[in-house]
Amino acid sequence: MELMVRNQDNRAARKQDGLTIIELMIAMVVLAIGILASMSLVIMAINGNFRSKQQSNSVALAQMATEKIMSIPAWTSTTLTIADCTGATHNVSTAIGGAILNSSGDVDYTQATVTNYYMAWTDCGTANRQMTYDVRWRIDNLTTYTHLLTVSARLNTVSTGGLSGAVFGPVVTIKTVIGQGT
């Protein structure tokens, strides 16, 4: 009787020898697919962060141009001068006129730039990285003492060291009424 019990234990042990090579390969393929899928999500998140940062910078530049233009009374036509981080100066006209608008009332970036209503603003970053933004504006007359100001900005190029290239940057537009009390 004792001999028979040992035989049954050995047969059960032999049936559970471990993983076969095919089972191991299937497990590795499933694991590889999972890792690749998660890596694509990480890459998409990095791209989303870059785009959000550049859009935030575009908003800040459009806001800065809006504030500079709003600092001049609406009934005067003055040209301001501002400098970016490279020391390049840009003339900012506060007179009626400016960039061409499209049918939705936003600045049309397919049209040529208008002198004194355009800045190629350079934003300096770390490790010799520079981003150039295309900032344009238009001032329309509403009344003698008020104007409609439309300012748009978008990322144009990115350069790091000796490398540079054009990139897609979403357009950010700020519209405001200026004058009457300024």
pLDDT reading at 81 higher than 80 = yes
Give residue 14's pLDDT band: very low, low, confident or very high (50, 70, 90): low
C-alpha distances out from residue 99 to 80, 105, 146, 172, Å:
17, 11, 19, 15
The full set of domain ranges for the chain reads: 30-179
Q: pTM for the whole thing?
A: 0.73
Averaged pLDDT, 57-72: 88
pLDDT recorded at residue 39: 92
Name the amino acid, one letter, at 47: N
pLDDT reading at 162 higher than 80 = no
Specify the range with the lowest mean pLDDT, choosing from 32-41, 105-114, 143-152, 155-164: 155-164
Please list, residue by residue across 121-144, b when 16 or more beta carbons sit within 10 angstroms of its beta carbon and e when fewer do.
bbbeeeeeebbbbbbbbbbeeeee
Give which of 169, 179, 177, 114 is closest to 150, Cα–Cα.
177
pLDDT reading at 158 higher than 90 = no
pLDDT recorded at residue 34: 92
pLDDT reading at 8 higher than 60 = no
Q: 75 phi and psi, to 5 degrees?
A: -85, 5
Specify the range with the lowest mean pLDDT, choosing from 83-87, 110-114, 126-130: 126-130
pLDDT recorded at residue 11: 60
